[in-house]
Structure 1
Amino acid sequence: MLDDQTGGTRPAHAAADHPKVRMGKVGILLANLGTPDGHDYWSMRRYLSEFLSDQRVIDYPKWKWQPLLQTVILAKRPFTSGAAYRSIWNHEADESPLMTITKAKTLKIAAKMADMYGDAVEVDFCMRYGNPSTKSKVEELIAKGCRKILFFPLYPQYAGATSATANDQFFRALMEQKWQPTARVVDPYFEHPKYIEALAASVERAYAAAQQEPELLICSYHGLPQRYLMEGDPYHCQCQKTTRLLKERLGWDDSRIKTTFQSQFGPEEWLRPYTVEEVARLAAEDGIKRIAVVAPAFSADCIETLEEINEEIKESFEHAGGESFTYIPCLNDDDAHIEALSTVIAENLGGWIG
């Protein structure tokens, strides 16, 4: 940050030999979960080791968890996870869909911010796991003169395993700075009217395009251990509220929409009902033939949506007798989503920039 060759200026009243300082901008740092650099064994192993070693994600004691993770789990899981990533990989860009979508979303938000604030802001993105790292992007923003940084975890609903660990990593990066910028963190936006509107519009488009209207909309959220809810994590309640607000915006009754949870891992009880089991039960026991599935907890399509929902969960439904399965894509870089996220950002910049 202190570099007399980078076009900065000397602070007022500073001595003539004081290094020039680049400062005065506001940084906006969007944060997503992360992605492996490739779908080969070693790329997957590095990524999974970082992800599954995070005690916000798996909170078992390290002495008990790490030997199991590093020997048994990471000997096999990179192969199966790598095959799943390979099935959805953006081979043209040689990156995961999450990376492609996050880049596109960042460019659109940056354009919005430039329209609103000119060159007073810098917009970038980071990943909690993998690359680009949170630390590297914090350093880049500071080097560009950002003395204020707004950190935006791209999770509509708060969970310790998503929002909190992203925040942890952001503040770890700040801990390494001699001169820390002023920082703010964006609150979860699970009930923001523009987010609900964008979500509802995506459902309406999908229903209008369907040959036959789905009988039931499944709102499939990423799961968490049931224990986390009992320990005070608000995620379950925020998911339920998102579903309720979506239902009300669509003008539906309770019979047309249902909340479920996916991506269970490990032996303990997770939030129920489990999506993969519930779609099969709906087909086999309730005779539901046509469903649509939307994933309101994900701001961008990723392995959990493109592979788990649109392949595994779809297969579970069809094997149980379901006939029509409609996956409604995440909001991604849809214009209504960009408008919603930009509005949230603008609301959080109050007092920092005009």
Structure 2
Amino acid sequence: MDTGTHFVMGIALGGLATLDPVIAQEPITASAVIAGTILGSQAPDIDTVLKLRNNAVYIRNHRGITHSIPAVLLWPLIISGALFAIIPEANYLHLWLWTFLAVFLHVFVDIFNAYGTQALRPISSKWVALGVINTFDPFIFGIHVAGLILWGYGFPPGYLFLVIYGILVIYYVSRFREQAFIKRAVKQQIPGARKILLSPTMRFHRWKIAVITEKNYYVARADNGYVTILDTFDRVPLPESEILEAAKKDINLAAFLSFSPVYRFEIEQIKEYYEVRFIDLRYRSNGYYPFVAVVHLDSDLNILNSYTGWIFSEAKLQKKLNIIL
């Protein structure tokens, strides 16, 4: 989920914690718990600072080790320990328990995005991505904000957020049902579908779709259950190419290939240099594919410059590549 949603969820968990009899009876512990749930709901995304280095490092590591099993156990200890050092009068056990719940919930809800997390590390480095909730979901964010407003008007926060989370369980179930319906519709329209990748959007009934068959890639969109095929590409295996092998050594392209499960590629000679371009097919937007990796190499196959990330126009991409030169 996005930072804003994690933040309001952290406050909401602090409100839900008032159902805990110990917290209800100890205002100091209640204050510490709210701080713990807010910090715990943000802690796993500390790896966002990797963007300051470069996109390649960020793509390879975001939602990786900071969302792993050891991290889920470690974050609550660090946060609750720091808060207990500042507020020693607080009940440490209950402070740790609610902080742990905030960290766990952060990682748990991220699993439902198309991006996913490496939540099973170190058992498995596989990305767990269920693809039923957009990174920013207006309904989830809105119902939390509504709950916080009602709390401000005097509604009891514990029961209020208990009801809200009950509604969200129903909401998540409905998203799974719609996802299953869309997959059935895709299989009817593309019988040879071997793999179907769905990416939910901020619009409740709109989904982005990428389909892999034996010979083709299909890019489609679903609106209110109706599937429209937008683009079709031949599924071309990566060739035996010195140019491609040299490009694969680039950190940006390597990061892209570690992240993207469905893409097409282009290898061109442009004047005195070669361009290798990989395009992720999952995120088509207004006829453009914004998530790319591009590597330029000279005639001796030395890497001149490269870029990977989200670019929504060719002009901006060329500007990025020129900056790297």
TM-score normalised per structure 2: 0.27
Greater relative CO, 1 or 2 (CA 8 Å, sep 6+) = 1
